[in-house]
Amino acid sequence: MEFVPFQESMVEAGAKLLWGNYRALRGKGLTLLPQRFEELDSAQEALHRLLAQPRTMGLAAFLKGELRAYLLGTPTVNSIRGRHVWIHPAGLGIDSSFSLELFRDLYARLGAIWVHNGFFDHFLLTLNEPAWLEPWLRVGFGYEQAHALLDLETLDFDHPPNPQITVRQGNKTDRTLVQSFYDIIPRQHAAAPVWGVALPEDLPEIYEGYGELLDEEGTTTWLAFLDGHPVGLHVYRTLWDGVDLLVPAGAARLTVASTREEARGRGVSSTLLSVALQDAYSKGFRVCETDWRITNLLSSRHWESKGFKEVARRLVRKVDPRIVWADGYNVLA
């Protein structure tokens, strides 16, 4: 097997691998995934978009002059995650006649470049199929986020979960009210067993961002009230373009879901979901997408119980940065 840098000239061959993998995985129960990526042109388009991202780099595995597998990653630097790398759904492909073990070889070689350049946190977003995920678990990745789809055709809208809860759409006069929910998700994610940091310097930006939700085109905000008190918030965005391998065009994305702690267990989120999705269905939407931290026990249990099916998972590998000097060759003399 020969390993060489992935080049633009390899897109056509790479797209054939991506197309074949996607078609096979979609046929293993992931039928809500967009069908368009079973078309070769769409797979090529996805690879071209990925390669157009700044700093995207990759490795290709060739045998007897044929592309057998590839891995693409995008090194990124920002204030939230620092120096890290993203491997997107279109960033890996393999000849179905070869063992998925080949992904481990590609990662070992490409990951060495990332670590050498100080990119110690590696994120992988890929389809949720046990055999497809197994090689990544065996190179030290762990589950972090679930991405799921809900088929609105399967829902029963006739029976609201809690008729004592009133629900209405938010409007621009509700800015302060919507902003009052800004800290629920950060606090929940900072709690056990998620332990995801909620940086104090980020909270003012989150507060302002909640208010801006009311100004966004294609975004719908829903508020729930119990005995006249605001107790829940759902926010939905419209996904029209269909360029994402994980979400069909024209889907609704549930991007914010918050319930005040004192009102949990009263059917607040279930009622919001029922009202919001009935409205979405009446407007022609047939799929809803959302995601959650797998370690968030409330979220993972709630959304699965509502019929959301995991179609993808985000995995993460965090390399100990001391490896740049604690490499087995340095000795204190």
Across 295-324, average pLDDT: 97
The model's pTM is 0.94
Which tokens go with 154?
A: 């399967």
User: If pLDDT is split at 50, 70 and 90, which confidence band does 142 have?
Assistant: very high
pLDDT higher than threshold 90 for residue 16: yes
What are the phi and psi torsion angles at 156 (to 5°)?
-105, 110
Whether the CB-CB separation of 149 and 97 falls below 8 Å is answered with no
DSSP collapsed to 3 states, the chain: CEEEECCHHHHHHHHHHHHHHHHHHHCCCCCCCCHHHHCHHHHHHHHHHHHHCCCCEEEEEEECCEEEEEEEEEEEEECCCEEEEEECHHHEEECCCCCCHHHHHHHHHHHHHHHHCCCCEEEEEEECCHHHHHHHHCCCCEEEEEEEEEEHHHCCCCCCCCCCEEEEECCHHHHHHHHCCCCHHHHHHHCCCCCCCCCHHHHHHHHHHHHHHHHCCCEEEEEEEECCEEEEEEEEEEECCCCCCCCCCCEEEEEEEEECHHHCCCCHHHHHHHHHHHHHHHCCCCEEEEEEECCCHHHHHHHHHCCCEEEEEEEEEECCHHHHCCCCCCCCC
Across 295-314, average pLDDT: 97
Whether the CB-CB separation of 119 and 75 falls below 8 Å is answered with yes
pLDDT higher than threshold 90 for residue 333: no
What are the phi and psi torsion angles at 92 (to 5°)?
-145, 140
pLDDT higher than threshold 70 for residue 208: yes
What are the phi and psi torsion angles at 328 (to 5°)?
90, -10
Domain 150-309: CATH superfamily, name plus number:
Gcn5-related N-acetyltransferase (GNAT) (3.40.630.30)
Across 146-173, average pLDDT: 91
User: If pLDDT is split at 50, 70 and 90, which confidence band does 239 have?
Assistant: confident
Each domain of the chain, given as residue ranges in start order, spans 2-140, 150-309
pLDDT higher than threshold 70 for residue 182: yes
- Half-sphere exposure of 12 toward its Cβ, with a 13 Å CA cutoff? 2
Predicted confidence at residue 157, as pLDDT, reads 80
User: If pLDDT is split at 50, 70 and 90, which confidence band does 242 have?
Assistant: low
CA separation for the pair 280, 288 (Å, rounded):
9
Calculate the average pLDDT of the chain: 95
Across 117-126, average pLDDT: 98
Task: Tell me the pLDDT tens digit for each residue of 88-107.
Answer: 999 999 999 999 999 999 99
CA separation for the pair 37, 244 (Å, rounded):
9
User: If pLDDT is split at 50, 70 and 90, which confidence band does 192 have?
Assistant: very high
Across 117-131, average pLDDT: 98
The fold of 2-140 is Aminopeptidase (3.40.630)
CA separation for the pair 92, 58 (Å, rounded):
9
User: How many percent of the chain have pLDDT more than 70?
Assistant: 99
Across 291-305, average pLDDT: 97
User: If pLDDT is split at 50, 70 and 90, which confidence band does 243 have?
Assistant: low
Predicted confidence at residue 249, as pLDDT, reads 85
Whether the CB-CB separation of 150 and 278 falls below 8 Å is answered with no
CA separation for the pair 258, 265 (Å, rounded):
13
CA separation for the pair 146, 123 (Å, rounded):
13
User: Same fold for the domain at 2-140 and the one at 150-309?
Assistant: yes
Whether the CB-CB separation of 19 and 43 falls below 8 Å is answered with yes
169 beta partners: 222
Which tokens go with 112?
A: 């060495």
Which tokens go with 142?
A: 């762990």
pLDDT higher than threshold 80 for residue 246: yes
